[in-house]
Amino acid sequence: MQKTANVVIIGGGITGCALAYEMALRGVQDIVVIEKQYLASGATGRCGAGVRQQWGTETNAILARDSVKRFESMNEELDYDMDIEFKQGGYLMVAYTESEWEQYKKNVAVQHSLGISTKMITPQEAQEIVPHLNINSLVGATFCQSDGHANPFHVVDAYYKAGRRLGVNYETYTTVTGIKREKGKVTAVQTTKGEINTSIVINACGFAAGTICKMVGFDLPLYPQRHQALVTEAVEPCQGPMVISLHHRLYCQQTPHGSFIMGVGDPNEPKDFNIHSSWEFLEDVARQAITVLPLLKNLRVVRQWSGLYDMSPDANPIFAEIPDAQGMWVAAGFSGHGFMVGPQTAVLLAQKILGQECFMPIEKFGLDRFRRGELLLEPAVV
């Protein structure tokens, strides 16, 4: 393995791979991405693949809105030899309680102020979009046609291939075991394949970002939390948009291949690294999905899996240089939406680290917000 690098990026998920590309595109040479397994083996390859702009905080909505533009042209921009399978079938967010509906109205006001064309619709209009939606006690819904989903493996592959053409080096099956510092500045990254001298390290380790920060003695306010998902057998296309019911903690979409992917969040999930799948999840998700989308009751489950959310205290990401470790940056804390904001996260970080003008104020994502108690609490998380 190489002995020196200008930039070492730890983590080969969407964040690390997109960032490597954006930095190389801006002329940085000698970048290496270190990934302990294979690319997209973390949360990225386990995610629900949803891409939505319907957020309640400006920060998430801007990152998602601008990332949608990038997904739309990604095949061409990255000169991808396959297809990232970005399909804009929309997102239907359904509200079964008055308080949820009140929150949705506030969220939509944020979205409209940013030019996101979400519509507020009646239960009947929602049922016209998804005919098998249960509208008993549905208060209302919001719909954004330009939301959708993309294939996370292909998106990472597209960034990887584009990065490789620009000279990025990828070291897979290589684990970072330590970070060296001198006089408050990072100097080297230690790995299972040797040590790399560098002055810039980016921690894009998602659920493991806290572990990496501990290597320089910094306690990152972030914890891992298991989220489970399943995929069903493929059936004839019958559902265009992703359906989200925050009340039922459910998201459910039909992929272009006909199978349904769905998951539910469990508020009682412990804060740990457990990624085993459970029977309890199967029962829970079946109950919630059949309540919201009764037609799915006879679908057969093909596979279930789980992955880890990297949870910050406000479900907004943390982009910051680590105190007392100059040159070391963190990009983590994406909760359940790091895939959809990945393209613009990478642009923002590349701009900041290279001293360029940022397209949005990156300070909002800083660590200071926790110290000051000025959280960017995101209300639209499953």
What is the binding site for ligand FAD (CB under 6 A)?
Answer: 10-16, 34-37, 41-44, 46-50, 175-176, 204-208, 227, 229, 263, 307-309, 332, 334, 336-340
Closest CA to 380 of 103, 142, 189: 103
Q: Which is nearer to ligand FAD, 139 or 176 (CB)?
A: 176
Closest approach of ligand FAD to the CB of residue 263, in Å: 5
Q: Are the CB atoms for 1 and 196 separated by under 8 Å? A: yes
Q: Which is nearer to ligand FAD, 16 or 163 (CB)?
A: 16
Closest approach of ligand FAD to the CB of residue 33, in Å: 9
Enter the DSSP assignment of 312.
-
Q: Which is nearer to ligand FAD, 43 or 380 (CB)?
A: 43
61 C-beta neighbours (distance < 10 Å), count: 25
The H-or-E segment that residue 343 falls in is helix 342-353
Q: Which is nearer to ligand FAD, 105 or 287 (CB)?
A: 287
Q: Are the CB atoms for 15 and 342 separated by under 8 Å? A: yes
Q: Which is nearer to ligand FAD, 123 or 170 (CB)?
A: 170
Chain CA centroid to CA 260, Å: 19
Which residues, including other chains, have CB under 8 Å from residue 303's CB and lie 6 or more apart?
A: 230, 231
Closest approach of ligand FAD to the CB of residue 178, in Å: 10
Q: Which is nearer to ligand FAD, 44 or 139 (CB)?
A: 44
Closest approach of ligand FAD to the CB of residue 136, in Å: 27
Closest approach of ligand FAD to the CB of residue 94, in Å: 17
CA distances from 172 to 1, 86, 89, 160, 324 (A): 11, 26, 34, 12, 28
The span from the CA of 373 to the CA of 154, in Å, is: 39
Closest approach of ligand FAD to the CB of residue 124, in Å: 27
Three-state DSSP class for residue 228: strand
